[in-house]
Chain A
Amino acid sequence: MGETRPGMLNEPVDPDVDLHIPAQRKALRHGQGPVVAVVALGGAVGASARYGASLLWPTTAGTFPWTTLLVNTIGCAIIGAFMVVITDVWAAHRLVRPFLGTGVLGGFTTFSTYAVDIQHLVDDGDARTGLAYLALTLLAALAAVWTAANLTRRVIEWRQR
């Protein structure tokens, strides 16, 4: 993580709206309808992709939930790259970020299935698999978002040279 690169400080912590900027806080009161609509639409797309993955690669009870792990890791990698691109280079329409970041990726990845799958593994006597799944998902997800964001920043820097 080390040194701070110039573009990084502009990137928000929250992926949709930065409420610490008064203008953006005010903007919330206007035009919420279209934002909510694209978040719903994106959520449907993301959740369908996750459901499709679970049908293609079903997880049998008591085994390691690889499909959910992969879905969550891919979603984290995409949001890492996407947030850098949309903050630093792409002056996209104001609905693109809620649609892709909040809707599609938020609907694609899941925290509830992650937790409930661990609970099931532990309750069914597969505590070791549950703990391995808990740790591996965390590591993979955080490594994916960090790697994707930093690689994207490097590519942008290199192209601007």
Chain B
Amino acid sequence: MNWVLVIAGAMVGAPLRYLTDRTVQSKHDTVFPWGTFAVNVVGCLVLGLVTGAVTAGAASSQVQLLLGTGLCGALTTYSTFSYETLRLAEDGARFYAGANVVASVVAGLGAAFTGAAFAQALWG
């Protein structure tokens, strides 16, 4: 059953990342990978919220597997983040490469802390 929950979440999360990336990337003309940035930050916020809810006893471990391990895990990506950073650096856009690393880590962490704080306020 646990595997089914992870797979079900991932089968929603991965296409959601793909479609969000497509939509965001078609809306701007810069080299900055806003699409991957957006899914990663949103995923961090949701996972912070879900993990906080589980810790507070407001959600079950099944919810953690479905929405956390499955959905948020597949919605967010480290491989595309690092590959896009590499390509920006190689193409001479070193500023954007550095900005992508700093912005993704700072915004991702900020989102995770915000999600956890919301969970604490709601169910803590």
B69: contacting residue among A14, A47, A83, CB under 8 A: A47
Q: Are B109 and A144 in contact, with the CB atoms below 8 A?
A: no
Q: How far is the CA of A145 from the CA of B44 in the complex (A)?
A: 22
Q: Is the interface of B mostly helix, strand, loop or mixed?
A: helix
The one of A25, A42, A75 in contact with B78, judged by C-beta atoms closer than 8 angstroms, is: A75
| A-to-B contact residues, CB < 8 Å | 1, 4, 8-9, 11-17, 19, 25, 28, 35-36, 39-44, 46-48, 50-51, 54, 72, 75-76, 78-80, 83, 98, 101-103, 105-116, 118-120, 123, 134, 137-138, 141-142, 144-146, 149
Number of A-B residue pairs with CB-CB distance less than 8 Å in the complex they form: 206
Interface centre among B10, B44, B69, B112 (most CB of A within 10 A): B10
Indicate if the CB atoms of B112 and A19 lie closer than 8 Å: no
Instruction: Say how far B30's CB is from chain A's closest CB, in angstroms.
Output: 11
Which residues of the partner chain B approach A105 to less than 8 Å between Cβ atoms? Answer: 77, 79-80
Chain A hits for B104, CB < 8 A: 111
The 8 Å CB contact of B7, one of A15, A35, A47, A98, is A47
Interface residues of chain B, those whose CB is within 8 Å of chain A, are 2-3, 6-7, 9-15, 17-19, 21-22, 25-26, 31, 33, 35, 40, 43-44, 46-48, 51, 65, 68-70, 72-91, 101, 104-105, 108-109, 111-113, 115-116
Docked complex Cα distance between A148 and B104 (Å): 22
Contacts of A17 in B (CB 8 A): 22
Q: Find out whether the CB atom of B76 lies under 8 angstroms from the CB atom of A110.
A: yes
Nearest B residue (CB) for A5 = B90
The CA-CA distance from A108 to B82 in the complex, in Å, is 14
Q: Which residue of A lies closest to B14 (CB)?
A: A43
A-B contact pairs, 23 of them (CB 8 A): A36-B15, A40-B11, A42-B14, A43-B17, A43-B74, A46-B14, A47-B14, A50-B69, A51-B6, A51-B65, A75-B79, A79-B83, A112-B44, A112-B47, A112-B68, A112-B73, A112-B112, A115-B111, A115-B112, A123-B116, A141-B82, A142-B85, A142-B86
